[in-house]
Amino acid sequence: MISAQDDHLQKLIRLMTTAAANAALYHTEHRQVLRLSKQALNELHQLFNVHSNITLKVIDEQLIFTNKPVAKNLAVDRLLEALTRNGISHLQIEPGVYTEELLGFINLLSKSPDKQIDIKSSENIHFGQVEVRYKNSGSQQLAELNLAEIADYEADRFMDIYQTVRNKQKLEMAGINEIVNGFVSEFNSQSDAFMAIAPLRSMDEYTYTHSTNICMLNLAQAKVLGIEGQLLNDIGIAAMLHDVGKMFISPDILSKSGQLNEEEWQIMQQHPRLGAEYLLNTPGVPRLAVVTAFEHHMRYDNAGYPKTAHPWQQHICSHMTAISDTYDAMRTHRAYEESLDIDQIISIMLDLAGNKLHPQLTYSFLQVLSELDKSSEPSNYSAR
Ligand SMILES: [Fe+2]
Ligand SMILES: [Fe+2]
């Protein structure tokens, strides 16, 4: 039985990590981040009715509150990962906490792992750092904190999945089903589908972050179209696996930080076919994942790849994946590219609707996006 206090704590963690994800996507002053922070503050006040302060500790990869481990879910994992990454072993929030302080903490959570930032306690939010351990090897030497090893088990598990593919072993569908089921239930417990979007964590396009983002974005699209049940799960799984064929492409090509030459581009274009073939031979993979892996670069006007001998009718999931992929590529700024703001992304996607992307599905996608960002352009994109 979940106590009301546990429930407030879970809501608090979900609101903070979602606010951090949105802050990573936009900026800390974004309307959505402010709204979520205010809601998080409300949950804190509920907790202060019972507790004189809120103290969260990280012990053995567990989040501890009032001497008990906090039940794990995606939001708790994200918080744990952010705390351990920043070397925070305990966090204490006092009742006087105000919005700006909470925003400062959310800003800290939103930073990508490769950014080193200074952690400072504020008036009502106190951080306790991980003890620096020394190991004796003749002279006293600073031991590595080994933060990379800790937590983030969902990312680790997903990396395992990709590693399995790389090693040409059989894929274990149970693990993927479990991850996607987790996302679907997270979606079902939130009114705003886009809120669950994963924060930017890495420039590594083909691994965990990209696949989970596409999964979230596909689920968001499917939900607004009223898709539920097994098809919704299959769409999520198809999204998670759409780029699995990239595991058969040389990492030198995948991570090349500039334009591919003609030969490299030809190799890169093989990933839909390689992925589909691999998934076709993997027991338990939904057929939709095979189809989506094959079709996700075909484009609405069929000008993409792979080329087919006959006219080809693409599955709606492939169109949705192409839309999510286009959006994610634009909002994930890489070292060598300028990042685009949301208005630029919307305008580019409107230009692509009807040629690269399925028009109605693109308008529907942008409609959901506009719900998130009411302060931006008018919401009725279908007029264009
Ligand atoms: Fe792809
Ligand atoms: Fe992709």
How confident is the model over 211-242, as pLDDT tens digits? 877 888 898 899 889 998 999 999 998 998 89
Average predicted confidence (pLDDT) for the chain: 77
- Whether 148 is covered by a domain: the verdict is no
Shared domain for 192 and 76, answered yes or no, is: no
Residues 331 and 206 in one domain: yes
226 and 161, same domain (yes or no): yes
Residue 69 covered by a domain: yes
Q: How far is the CA of 266 from the centre of ligand 2 (A)?
A: 16
Q: Which ligand is nearest to the CA of 324?
A: 2
Cα–Cα distance for residue pair 38/100, rounded to 1 Å: 10
Q: Domain limits at 348?
A: 153-383
**Tokens of residue 110, six digits:** 């939103």
The ligand placed nearest to the CA atom of residue 214 is 2
For residue range 340-367, what is the model confidence (pLDDT) as tens digits? 777 888 899 999 999 999 999 999 999 8
Ligand nearest to the CA of 205: 2
Q: Look at residue 10 and tell me if it is in a domain.
A: yes
Residues 23 and 72 in one domain: yes
Statement to judge: residues 173 and 103 lie in one domain:
no
In a shared domain, residues 238 and 345: yes
Shortest-distance ligand to the CA of residue 209? 2
Sequence-distant (≥ 6) Cβ neighbours of residue 358 within 8 angstroms: 300, 316, 319, 320, 322, 323
Q: Which of 129, 163, 186 is the last residue of a domain?
A: 129
Do 318 and 379 lie in one domain? The reply is yes
d(CA 204, CA 83): 22
Q: How far apart are CA 19 and CA 35, in angstroms?
A: 8
Cα(278) to centroid(ligand 1), Å: 14
Give 37-93 as a DSSP string. Answer: HHHHHHHHHHHHTT-SSEEEEEETTEEEETTEEPPP-HHHHHHHHHHHHTTEEEEEE
Neighbours of 370 (CB within 10 A): 18
pLDDT number for residue 296: 98
Give me ligand 2 centre to Cα 297, in Å.
Answer: 9
Same domain, 111 and 158: no
For 79-95, the pLDDT digits (tens) are 888 888 777 877 889 99
Measured in Å, residue 126 CA sits from the centre of ligand 1 at 43
Of all ligands present, the nearest one to the C-alpha of 293 is 1
Query: d(Cα 37, Cα 314) in Å, to the nearest integer?
Result: 41
Q: How far is the CA of 213 from the centre of ligand 2 (A)?
A: 10
241 C-alpha to ligand 2 centroid (Å): 9
20-71 per-position pLDDT tens digit: 887 777 677 888 788 889 999 999 999 999 998 898 888 777 888 887 889 8
In this structure, the answer to whether residues 260 and 212 fall within a common structural domain is yes
| CA 244–ligand 2 middle distance (angstroms) | 9
DSSP H or E run through 129? strand 125-129
Identify the pLDDT of residue 251: 79
Query: How many angstroms separate the CA atoms of 313 and 193, rounded?
Result: 28
Same domain for 220 and 96, yes or no, is no
What CATH number does the domain containing 351 carry?
Answer: 1.10.3210.10
Q: What is the pTM of this model?
A: 0.56
110 with 158, same domain: the answer is no
341 is written with which tokens?
A: 């703001």
- Looking at the CA of 297, which ligand is closest? 1
Q: Which amino acid is at 38?
A: K
pLDDT tens, 263-305?
A: 999 999 999 999 999 888 888 888 999 999 999 999 999 999 9
* Phi and psi at residue 64, to the nearest 5°: -115, 130
Q: Kindly state whether residue 256 falls inside one of the protein's structural domains.
A: yes
DSSP 8-state symbol, 176: H
Instruction: Looking at the structure, tell me whether residues 344 and 289 fall in a common domain.
Output: yes
Considering 94, 129, 164, which residue would you say is the last residue of a domain?
129
In the structure, ligand 2 is a single-atom ion and the residues with CB under 5 Å from it are: 243, 325
Say how many domains are in the chain: 2
144 within some domain: no
Higher pLDDT, 73 or 291: 291
Residue 206 lies in a domain: yes
